[in-house]
Structure 1
Amino acid sequence: MEENKNIESLRRVHFNSIWLVPLIAIIVAGWMLYQNWASQGPVITLIASNAEGLEAGQTKLKARNVDVGRVIDIRLSNDYDKAIIKVRMNQGTQKMLRKDAQFWVVKPRIGKEGVSGLSTLLSGAYIDMSPGEQGKESDEFTLLSQPPLSTKTEGIRILLNSHNTAKLDVGTLVHFRGYEVGYVEEVGFDTAAGSITYRIVVKAPYDALVNDAVQFWITPGLLFKSSVQGFEVRLDSLETFVSGGISFGLGKDKLVGNSVKDLTSFHLFASKEEANHNLYDKTIEYLFLFDSNVSGLAAGADVEFRGVRIGTVMAVPFTDIAMDATTSFDRPVIPVLARIEPQRLHDWSVSGEQSVEKWKELLDTRIKQGLRAKLEIGNYLNAARVISLDFMDNPPAPGMTEFAGYDVFPTAPDSLADIGGKVSTLLDSFADVPLKQTFEQLGQTMAEANETLRQLQSLSNSVEQLLEKSETQQIPDDIAEVMKQLNLTLESYQANGQIGRPLRENMLSLGRSLNELQPLLRQLREKPNTLIFDSKPRLEVQPKAAR
């Protein structure tokens, strides 16, 4: 009986096939969990100043536009100074996570490289990375605020130094004739020289454009300039408008130089005009002492000879000796330092020092011949002035030739001052005129003129009274009778008149007599002795008989 109960209980514990379903589900879920765990990469930490535009579970991490991870958590650091961003990387990305790997946020921005990240306007910001290649693997990195610059760019690296320009940022573009050829790689400051230093990269193959004859200058995004030549407005590209740029090129009429090595130093000029002025390194400095208004004359203005630029104004006023110039003369003067640049006119084919000496001697000779400097308005729109050199017929004496160690160029009154002097002289002449006596004489003359007019009026009244008398009215009849008698007299002298007819007949008779005397007169003209001696008779010509 007991044995039958055991057999019956075994029948009740019989395995039910329905249990296979949850078992299989557990096995599949476990396998999927394992596959998910096995396919996941490491978790890395990105430290950023802020997490603007990033969202946990949404923001992706990409490398060369391929998804390689996703942000899983964002929180603040313990000191609340940084944002801690956790990113789950995909499987197989461990080799990318070396010390030199770089991460940055891609979002819409306008910067030195132009407009970028426009695709994120719809998809949202994402994190981009540059895979690491050197160093050990790491799981903690700094999230950059700007896209990094490539340190593997092929080309040439140049050092620039600037003393009087504003600071440019890393990434500022370098142009050649407006074409992008490089960028600023590093910015520093030389405390000993007091200058800003830049290390720029000119990418290959444009590095061949760099030689020892090129010059570098800052390209302003927007330029508004007023000078002797007029007003100039220039707008460059959008990227230079935002943050400026650097350009380089050969100077005017300058030949291509020799190639340079890496980290060769060049000076960075504030503008292209300043770079062009630097081409003229052989100069003659003069001090101009003006005793008139120098308003409108500024550093960089032209020094001209009959409209042709031959130099540049360096300082207005020249502060090194300004106090000496205003106290050493009876009449204070304004010192202006300028330089003559013979290279603007002369092909510098001989030694520089010899050429400078020759030009100095030539200028001294021309000064003795009457060459003088004066201020003239170069542009009437902005009243900009220039120093104009020209010969004068009766130049003022040169005066001193040296002051405070500088050669002095003799000056003459400017055109406006000359006109002002003439106007002043004219006004002085008017002041010397005896206006009171003149007006008294004029009043007397006007009184005499009034008396004369009064007498004429009285005479007119007398004539009118005379014409109204009866005796005066008979005068026209007498005049008519006289004219009639004169007409009769003239008729008697006409051709058919009593006097004119006989006179006409006598003249006709005289004419006939003169015609009859013509043969005699002709004979006397040919033979004056005809009246004394007879002339030989002429033989008559006998006609010949017919044969």
Structure 2
Amino acid sequence: MSDPNKQVENMRQVRFNSIWLVPLIALIVAGWMLYENWASKGPVITLIASNADGLEVGKTKLKSRNVDVGRVIGIRLSDDFEKAIIKVRMQHGTEQMLRDDARFWVVKPRIGKEGVSGLGTLLSGAYIDMTPGAKGRLQTDFTLLSQPPLSTENEGVRLVLSSMDGAKLDVGASVHFRGYEVGYVEKVGFDTDKGAITYHVVIRSPYDALVNSESQFWLTPGLSFKSSASGFEVRLDSLETFFAGGISFGLPTGRTAGLPVSDMTSFRLYSSRDSATNNMYSEFINYVFMFDSNVSGLTPGAAVEFRGVRIGTVLEVPFSGIPMQTLTGLDTPLIPVRARIEPQRLNSLNPEDGMSLAEWHAYIEERIDNGLRASLKIGNYLNAAKVINIDYVGNPPPVKWKEFAGFKVFPTAPDAFANIESKVGSILDNLSQVPLNSTLEQVSETMNEASETLRQLQLVSKSVTQLLNSPDTQQLPAELAATINELNLTLETYQANGQIGRPLRENMVSLGRALNELQPLLRQLREKPSTLIFDSKPRSDVQPKAAK
């Protein structure tokens, strides 16, 4: 029989054979590899985009500063089928990049006014680029931008500008301060509630310190042409804004800097610098001017002047706040114009300095009682642009209304051109009342009497000649003969061919001919005095042509 102790020892040797260490080591290595693979993976983030054009699962990379930091692992549609949901596996150690201000966009070939970009993706394919977040909390859900951001720098301030004008700028338009580029337009939208175009602009650091609560923003077109009462103005900005336009900002003259602004502060964007300047006055007095003359050439934005000094701005021509039924019911049809007087143009922009608004109103009312009136004046005869001129007038017309339809009325007086028309009309009326027929008859009688006088002088001259030629006269003393000779010479000058008689006869004939030629004109002026200014032949209206 065999020894039991020896059998147990053999069984132990079989159980602890070294061959069993191989699978054990393999399991340990596999487990370690699985752990390393799991530990080396970063978080999975979700990008929401309008579409997934150019992206492929397992191939499209996520880069930051041209370094691979992730890869697309899944693409699907959202539950409402309106968006594309893109899953991206980030690398280990990228968690701190995923903050609120991180931005993601697709890099692919693009052609725009800024040039051609993304040509490197023609061979490698599109990829997702990102700017690491630096502020805010950590998150995993982001929105994929439809286009690359213009700047990857987050320093500066972002503002919202609202424009009520029709002009529109594109994304990327420059923002200037005194001609120097300090920012750009980041986003363009439309506010349906206000009916205004909105621009999200970025002012880069350190130029964001130039913006304060009193700053004004206005459009700077590359080429602008303006015609006003001040004349014609052609302005050419930089070549950069000549094609794409731009925005400028600054502090109005005479106004001190305000408080610093924060992100997303709203400002109004004016159409021009002049428009921004005219709207910087916070205190004004609204008036309605009732004109009974032609307001052609008076446009919104025109000046209200006092002896050449601008004190206000025209707002609306004609003013639609007064019902036309009210105006047509008046004895004389009037054209209402809404304008405002801005005392701050003469006063300080600081309401605490100078006269208050109530004091200005009382001051103007007192001057109106003393003859202050408004009239239309041509500011520029080249383009017939008009302004409202306020000045004292002699024998001012009485004030008919202090208020009309709920609005304060500034009394008006006929303008200078209307006064000329009235004076010319008065002259024509007086001319039409002149008794021309009796005057012409008297002139004819005077000419006949002058002719008879000349004939009598000729007879007298002949008689004197006969007297001198007679023998009796020749026997007179020499002194008397000389006197008679002088008298004869004097009478000869009054004859038809004499030095006095001939010009006098020619003048009488010319005067008669001129009076005969004036008779048709005088007859026409008597029947229609207005032909002295206006053409007697009526002009036919231009017939519009039908569109082809």
TM-score, normalized by the shorter chain, greater than 0.5: yes
- Paired AA for residue 400 in structure 1: W
State the identity as a percent: 54
The CA distance in 2 between the partners of 1:143 and 1:391, in whole Å, is 64
The corresponding residue for 1:534 is none
The CA distance in 2 between the partners of 1:192 and 1:476, in whole Å, is 121
The corresponding residue for 1:379 is 380
Cα 1:339/1:132, change in 2 over 3 Å? closer
The CA distance in 2 between the partners of 1:417 and 1:293, in whole Å, is 9
The corresponding residue for 2:182 is 181
State yes or no: 1:246 paired with 2:247.
yes
How far did 1:254 drift? Answer: 1.2
Contact 2:131 2:152 (8 Å CA) reproduced: no
The CA distance in 1 between the partners of 2:333 and 2:165, in whole Å, is 32
How far did 1:365 drift? Answer: 0.4
Report the aligned-residue RMSD: 3.5
> 1:322-361, aligned counterparts within 5 Å?
323-351=324-352, 355-361=356-362
Cα 1:471/1:180, change in 2 over 3 Å? same
The CA distance in 2 between the partners of 1:127 and 1:419, in whole Å, is 79
The CA distance in 1 between the partners of 2:268 and 2:206, in whole Å, is 23
How far did 1:169 drift? Answer: 1.2
Secondary structure (helix, strand or coil) at the match of 1:464 reads helix
The corresponding residue for 1:436 is 437
TM-score (norm 2): 0.63
The CA distance in 2 between the partners of 1:102 and 1:404, in whole Å, is 61
The CA distance in 1 between the partners of 2:214 and 2:124, in whole Å, is 45
The corresponding residue for 1:24 is none
The corresponding residue for 1:224 is 225
Misfit runs of 4+, over 4 Å: 124-135, 348-354, 478-481
How far did 1:459 drift? Answer: 1.5
For 1:285-342, what per-residue CA distance to the aligned partner results, in whole angstroms no more than 9, with x for missing partners? Answer: 1111111111111111111111100001111110221504532311100001110000
Contact 1:285 1:338 (8 Å CA) reproduced: yes
Cα 1:475/1:127, change in 2 over 3 Å? farther
Worse-superposed segment, 182-191 or 425-434 = 182-191
The CA distance in 1 between the partners of 2:384 and 2:475, in whole Å, is 83
Q: Could you tell me which of 87, 95, 103 is aligned with 2:107?
A: 103
The corresponding residue for 2:274 is 273
Cα 1:277/1:150, change in 2 over 3 Å? same
- Paired AA for residue 449 in structure 1: A
The corresponding residue for 1:306 is 307
Secondary structure (helix, strand or coil) at the match of 1:182 reads strand
- Paired AA for residue 107 in structure 2: F
Contact 1:395 1:412 (8 Å CA) reproduced: yes
Quick check: which has more Rg, 1 or 2?
A: 1
State yes or no: 1:454 paired with 2:458.
no
The CA distance in 2 between the partners of 1:169 and 1:426, in whole Å, is 62
> 1:536-547, aligned counterparts within 5 Å?
none
- Paired AA for residue 461 in structure 2: S
The CA distance in 1 between the partners of 2:126 and 2:182, in whole Å, is 25
The CA distance in 1 between the partners of 2:103 and 2:276, in whole Å, is 43
The corresponding residue for 2:167 is 166
Cα 1:130/1:183, change in 2 over 3 Å? farther
Cα 1:236/1:476, change in 2 over 3 Å? farther
How far did 1:380 drift? Answer: 0.9
Cα 1:354/1:456, change in 2 over 3 Å? closer
The corresponding residue for 2:395 is 394
For 1:179-219, what per-residue CA distance to the aligned partner results, in whole angstroms no more than 9, with x for missing partners? Answer: 11110111112222222211100011111101111011111
The CA distance in 1 between the partners of 2:132 and 2:212, in whole Å, is 34
Cα 1:449/1:325, change in 2 over 3 Å? farther
Contact 1:104 1:143 (8 Å CA) reproduced: no
The CA distance in 2 between the partners of 1:448 and 1:166, in whole Å, is 81
The CA distance in 1 between the partners of 2:479 and 2:366, in whole Å, is 93
Cα 1:353/1:214, change in 2 over 3 Å? same
The CA distance in 2 between the partners of 1:435 and 1:459, in whole Å, is 36
The CA distance in 2 between the partners of 1:99 and 1:316, in whole Å, is 49
The corresponding residue for 2:322 is 321
Cα 1:260/1:385, change in 2 over 3 Å? same
Contact 2:347 2:354 (8 Å CA) reproduced: no
For 1:259-290, what per-residue CA distance to the aligned partner results, in whole angstroms no more than 9, with x for missing partners? Answer: 11111111111111111111111000111111
The CA distance in 2 between the partners of 1:261 and 1:278, in whole Å, is 23
Worse-superposed segment, 125-134 or 328-337 = 125-134
Cα 1:442/1:127, change in 2 over 3 Å? farther
Question: Unpaired segments of 5 or more residues in structure 2?
Answer: 1-51, 55-63, 69-101, 134-143, 483-548
Contact 1:213 1:256 (8 Å CA) reproduced: yes
Secondary structure (helix, strand or coil) at the match of 2:422 reads helix
- Paired AA for residue 103 in structure 1: V
